[in-house]
Amino acid sequence: MVETCSDGELLKRIANRDRTAMEVLYDRYERLLYSFARKAVPDDFVAEEIVQDVFIKVWGAAHTYDERQAKLTTWLLTIARRTAIDHARKRQKLIHSSTNDEVLQILPDDTKQPYEWTEVLALRQTIQDALNELPGDQKLLIERIYLQGLSQREMAELLQLPIGTVKSRIRLGLAKLKDKLTATGWEVTP
Amino acid sequence: MNEQQVCSLRELYVLDGLTKEERQMFEEHLTNCKECQNEISLLMPLKDWLLYDFEMAMPPKDMKQRVLKNVYDAIDNEEGTETVVLSSHQINDLKEITSVLPDQTSNDSDREKFGKINDGHRIPITSGFGKYRNRYRWFIPMTAAAVLFIVSGIVYYTENPVFQNRSQLTDRNPLGQMTEAIQLKATAQFNTTSGQALIENGQMGRSLFIHFSGLQPVYGSQVYQVWLIKKGQPPVSLGVFTPNSQGKAIFASLIPFNETFQTVGITLEPRAIDKTPKGPLVLLGSISV
């Protein structure tokens, strides 16, 4: 039964052009990828498009996935991040330029999660706890640059700060993030 | 930039926040700077952690059906011939587009070859965007250059009375030889939109330039898409664009070699990756390329 295959098995089947395996993988990771895409872009349609592009890329790159190198969730989210940045660059004028946290106003997590989500949710909670302890501007800079692909110059213009200040706030933010994650068990990397 | 300044780029390097040039410079520096090497090795795991910085969101209803259909369409289009079923409004669009052309595919064998648009609502998409994109991938940078070039060219054309008369177009035109200028016809739904298409024969081949005004704004993932059509065959996408805040846009693309087309059509598509027209027809014009 394809439904009971491990993630690694599914990817092998997808590499061999098995569409049933693709659908099982889709069912397992649709919500993860959509949630990530909604964080990266403030638009339902674009988020759906990002998920779509991720699965097109997965079909083409399934043979390159090595479960010894990264968890499947990390691999998928890495593809999703690059895809989201590509979309954002293509549609820069459609992206909100405001600095409020509208992007984060998403549906509450009120549904029961399947067993496979336990680890993802734990990782998510850990990083969000660490990020929430940062001053707001440091968190914003890190998220916007990493998730939306903005440059230091674009962030400096957006926040009306000198580039040197942008750099130093990112440096401080990442250093604090590293310390906080180290305190929670750095060895448990995604 | 001195060593200290280059070192100050390392956090941005970790976040992929450097320009291509900055990244190259930093990577050269990284090969010799032990301090940066140590810091980078400590910071790099943060990249994976940050991927999990999202709130849980519920996918829209029916998203799976839409996404997987589009995924398989894209895959089929990349990997070879596939037959697709068109919706009734797509058929109407195609009929509207193709009805302006003389019937050059009147016998049954040709109809089989080009697809049963009328009776089966099925057309092959072998000449659709996927194959086209691979075949003409090298066009992309040229098209980008052409876009920049045509901005001045269009202005020159529209402001210089000599170009209002086709017979006066010559090789001295900075765009190459302008062979055709067409005013596109707007459909009833988009009657405030206008488009002026120019065909140019240059060293890179034939190019199509279109100057748009009065375009309705796009929302979400909507884009305008430009198609070339040969009677009886599925439309070939030349690319997509979005208008500026004043509803204006300039589109430029090379035209495929060794192929002839009789119609240019512009549709408003729900998303950029569709391989066949799915949205309403906006503008239409007869050309001869």
What is the domain extent for residue A188?
A: 108-190
Q: What is the pLDDT of residue B88?
A: 47
User: Is the CB of residue A79 less than 8 Å from the CB of residue A33?
Assistant: no
**Pick from A60, A131, A152: CB nearest B53:** A131
Does residue A186 have a pLDDT over 60?
Answer: no
Record: contact A123-B49, CB cut-off 8 A: yes
Most confident stretch, A97-101, A144-148, B127-131: A144-148
Q: What is the pLDDT of residue B257?
A: 74
**Pick from A26, A94, A127: CB nearest B68:** A26
Q: What is the pLDDT of residue A66?
A: 84
The DSSP-derived string for B207-235 is EEEEEEESPPPP-TT-EEEEEEE-TTS--
Residue A102 lies in a domain: no
In sequence order, what are the residues at sequence separation of 6 or more whose Cβ sits closer than 8 angstroms to the Cβ of residue B173?
Answer: B163, B200
Q: Which residue of A has its CA nearest to B16?
A: A146
Which CATH number characterizes residue B42's domain? 1.10.10.1320
Q: Is B45 helix (H, G, I), strand (E, B) or coil?
A: helix
Neighbours of A175 (CB within 10 A): 15
Same domain, B142 and B201: yes
Which has the closest alpha carbon to B19: B7, B9, B4?
B9
Cα–Cα distance measured from residue B71 to residue B66, given in angstroms and rounded to the nearest whole number = 9
Q: Which residue of A has its CA nearest to B274?
A: A49
The values of phi and psi at residue B227, to 5°, are -125, 145
Residue B57 lies in a domain: no
Min distance A107 CA to chain B CA atoms (Å): 5
Cα–Cα distance measured from residue A58 to residue A79, given in angstroms and rounded to the nearest whole number = 8
Q: Take residue B279 and report the two structure tokens written for it.
A: 């949205």
Same domain, A1 and A92: yes
Same domain, B101 and B196: yes
Min distance B13 CA to chain A CA atoms (Å): 10
Neighbours of A142 (CB within 10 A): 24
Same domain, B166 and B23: no
In sequence order, what are the residues at sequence separation of 6 or more whose Cβ sits closer than 8 angstroms to the Cβ of residue A55?
Answer: A22, A25, A26, B67, B68, B71
Record: contact B48-A190, CB cut-off 8 A: yes
Which has the closest alpha carbon to B154: B283, B284, B285, B250?
B250
Same domain, A112 and A166: yes
Strand partners, A57: none
Cα–Cα distance measured from residue A49 to residue A46, given in angstroms and rounded to the nearest whole number = 5
Same domain, B41 and B157: no
Contacts of B15 in chain A (CB under 8 A): 142, 145-146, 170, 174
Which has the closest alpha carbon to A84: A129, A143, A17?
A143
Using a cut of 0.95, tell me whether the model's pTM lies above it.
no
Strand partners, B185: B284
Number of domains present in the structure of chain B: 2
Which CATH number characterizes residue A16's domain? 1.10.1740.10
Same domain, B46 and B68: no
Cα–Cα distance measured from residue B137 to residue B84, given in angstroms and rounded to the nearest whole number = 24
Record: contact B11-A171, CB cut-off 8 A: yes
How does pLDDT run along chain B (289 residues), one tens digit per residue? 788 889 999 999 999 989 889 999 999 999 999 999 999 998 988 998 999 999 989 999 899 999 999 998 888 876 653 333 344 444 454 444 433 333 333 333 333 333 333 322 222 222 233 333 333 333 333 444 444 444 434 444 444 443 344 434 434 444 467 788 889 999 888 888 999 998 888 766 788 889 999 998 887 777 889 999 888 788 888 888 888 888 888 888 888 877 788 899 999 888 776 667 888 899 999 888 7
User: Is the CB of residue B126 less than 8 Å from the CB of residue B113?
Assistant: no
Does residue A135 have a pLDDT over 90?
Answer: yes
CA A33 to chain CA centroid, Å, is 8
Cα–Cα distance measured from residue A149 to residue A85, given in angstroms and rounded to the nearest whole number = 5
Contacts of B271 in chain A (CB under 8 A): 45, 49
- CA contacts within 13 A on the Cβ side of A175: 8
Contacts of B272 in chain A (CB under 8 A): 49
User: Is the CB of residue A27 less than 8 Å from the CB of residue B68?
Assistant: no
Number of domains present in the structure of chain A: 2
Q: Which amino acid is at A115?
A: Y
Q: Take residue A75 and report the two structure tokens written for it.
A: 């691999």
Q: Which residue of B has its CA nearest to A58?
A: B71
Q: Which amino acid is at B121?
A: H
Q: What is the pLDDT of residue A41?
A: 87
Among A78, A97, A116, give the residue marking a domain's end.
A97
Q: Take residue A160 and report the two structure tokens written for it.
A: 């009306």
Among A97, A121, A137, give the residue marking a domain's end.
A97
Record: contact A22-B68, CB cut-off 8 A: yes
What is the domain extent for residue B139?
A: 64-286
Which position has the higher pLDDT, A121 or A19?
A19
Cα–Cα distance measured from residue B156 to residue B165, given in angstroms and rounded to the nearest whole number = 14
Min distance A47 CA to chain B CA atoms (Å): 9
Q: Take residue A124 and report the two structure tokens written for it.
A: 């998510």
Record: contact B52-A186, CB cut-off 8 A: no
Min distance B69 CA to chain A CA atoms (Å): 9
Same domain, B42 and B179: no
- pLDDT above 70 covers a percentage of chain A that reads 83
Q: What is the pLDDT of residue B83?
A: 36
Which has the closest alpha carbon to A47: A119, A106, A131?
A106
DSSP code of residue B91? H
Residue A103 lies in a domain: no
Among A97, A127, A149, give the residue marking a domain's end.
A97
Residues A30-81: tens digit of each pLDDT: 999 999 999 998 888 889 999 999 999 999 899 988 888 788 999 999 999 9
Q: Which of residues 175-214 of B touch A (CB under 8 A)?
A: none
User: Is the CB of residue B98 less than 8 Å from the CB of residue B45?
Assistant: no
